[in-house]
Amino acid sequence: MLHSRTVEIGVGVFVAAGLAALFMLAMKVSNLSTFKAESGYAVSAHFDNIGGLTVRSPVRMSGVLVGRVSGIGFDSETYQAVVTMNIDPQYDKLPADTSASILTAGLLGEQYIGLDPGGDLRFLKDGDEIKLTQSALVLEQIVGQFLFSKAQEGAAAE
Amino acid sequence: MDTLQNLGRWALGMFERLGRGHLFLLYVLMGTPGLLFRLRLVVQQVYSVGVLSLLIVTVSGLFVGMVLGLQGYNTLVDFGSEEALSVVVALSLVRELGPVVTALLFAGRAGSALTAEIGLMKATEQLAGMEMMAVDPLRRVVAPRFLAGFISMPLLAAIFSAVGVFGGWFVGVGLLGVDDGAFWSQMTAKVDFYEDIVNGVIKSAVFGFVATWIALFEGYDAVPTSEGVSRATTRTVVHTALAVLGLDFVLTALMFGGV
């Protein structure tokens, strides 16, 4: 039954190659190896404007990925955006007065939340809120402010 | 009045065929659980449907990935963001080209062979002979082929995508000088496992189901003459291509579109 044997070996190789390809796509191409499901702790923050931030945007501290945005909501009492972040449990020593700002990677890149550590001896824990926040920079507003200040300079010079 | 009658006959014929196709599918699906005890039949078919398609799928995947690498690089280099090349290559392969091109190749390589085989079995009255011996040809002949196609397609599509990514890597990193580390890290940062990979696998499974179904039904329903079998084979390729492309739009709209 040599023929049947080659057929079975061929099928075995084929199935193994297919599964290996799937595994390679999962581990090497996609983020499965870097992203651990919601195992961390949640921290929220209010922002005046979140710009282009989306769910699953990265949260970075000193450029290191420490977590991801897990939800974006709207607080209808303060008219601010509420961003909840899922921080990886291995980064459990973030000071309680850590500040969060929305930054852009590169000139036109994706937006992410940058955390700056404070000096508090207490640490952020699950459900805490980051009080110090800085909103996303909206290009039109910056250009508007620039034109406005230029106009004021011109007026002051006269 | 005659044109109306012709139109009516045509429509009735189409609905009849559609109904036959679905009944056929139902019987085939009912025949698949019994195959667990006759895995040898399925293995034999996975060999002829999957293993023998491996060469064309691998070579096409490699070249599609390499072309994507070249074209993507030429566009992205104008924006100084050639590191995003890997994202372009990986996303287009995993989401679209992997499942779709593999399904089209599958229709041409395996689907047409299935139709011709079953059609000829019908034309030479082998199927009728089986029925005479109280062997259900749907269970003995068609169901193993169906299961084999359904199993092989996602595996073939995964191989296509994986080889394509390496083709893109070869052109991007090897020939055009994109940074190796940035290539892989950008890819892992932007390609989501559930959103992209799993959805791609679901797509390829759906295409495998549809492509095998069409191929087997065309063969089983063929007019049992040489001309009938040749027509059925042509119809298999054409109908599978149309069904795959149409379904691809629907699936994409459901998965990624937010339509």
- Among B54, B184, B197, the residue with its CB nearest the CB of A25 is B197
AA identity, residue B140: R
Q: Shortest CB distance from A18 goes to which of B94, B159, B184?
A: B159
Q: How many CB atoms lie within 10 A of CB B47?
A: 20
Indicate the pTM of the whole model.
Answer: 0.75
- The pLDDT, as a whole number, for residue A33 is 60
Cross-chain Cβ contact A25/B162 below 8 Å:
yes
Long-range pairs of B23-30 with CB within 8 A, sequence gap ≥ 24: B24/B138, B24/B216, B24/B217, B24/B220, B24/B221, B25/B213, B25/B217, B27/B138, B28/B138, B28/B142, B28/B143, B28/B146, B28/B213, B28/B216, B29/B146
CB nearest to A33's CB, from B44, B94, B188: B188
The pLDDT-based confidence of A38 (bands split at 50, 70, 90) is: low
Q: Do A30 and B193 touch (CB under 8 A)?
A: yes
Residues 40-99 of A with CB under 8 A from B: 56
| Closest Cα in chain A, distance from residue B47 (Å) | 5
Please report, in tens digits, the pLDDT of each residue of chain B (259 residues total). 888 999 999 999 989 999 999 999 998 888 888 888 888 888 888 988 888 899 999 999 999 999 999 999 988 888 877 778 888 899 999 999 999 999 999 999 999 999 999 999 999 989 889 989 988 888 888 999 999 999 999 999 999 999 999 999 999 888 888 878 778 877 887 888 888 888 999 999 999 999 999 999 999 988 989 899 999 999 999 999 999 999 999 999 888 875 5
Q: How many CB pairs under 8 A join A and B?
A: 84
The answer to whether A39 and A89 have CB atoms below 8 angstroms apart is: yes
Does residue A127 belong to the interface with chain B, where contact is any CB pair within 8 Å? no
Smallest CA–CA distance from B191 into chain A, residue:
A30
Does the predicted interface ipTM exceed a cut of 0.95?
Answer: no
The pLDDT score that the predictor gives to residue A1 is 45
Can you give the pLDDT at residue B258? 59
Tens of pLDDT, residues A68-106: 888 889 989 989 999 998 888 888 888 888 899 988 876
Q: Which two tokens stand for residue B208?
A: 């495998």
Cβ neighbours for B142, distance < 8 A, ≥ 6 positions apart:
B28, B31, B118, B216, B220
Residues of B in contact with A25 (CB under 8 A): 94, 158, 161-162, 165, 197
The Cα–Cα gap between B52 and B163 comes to 17
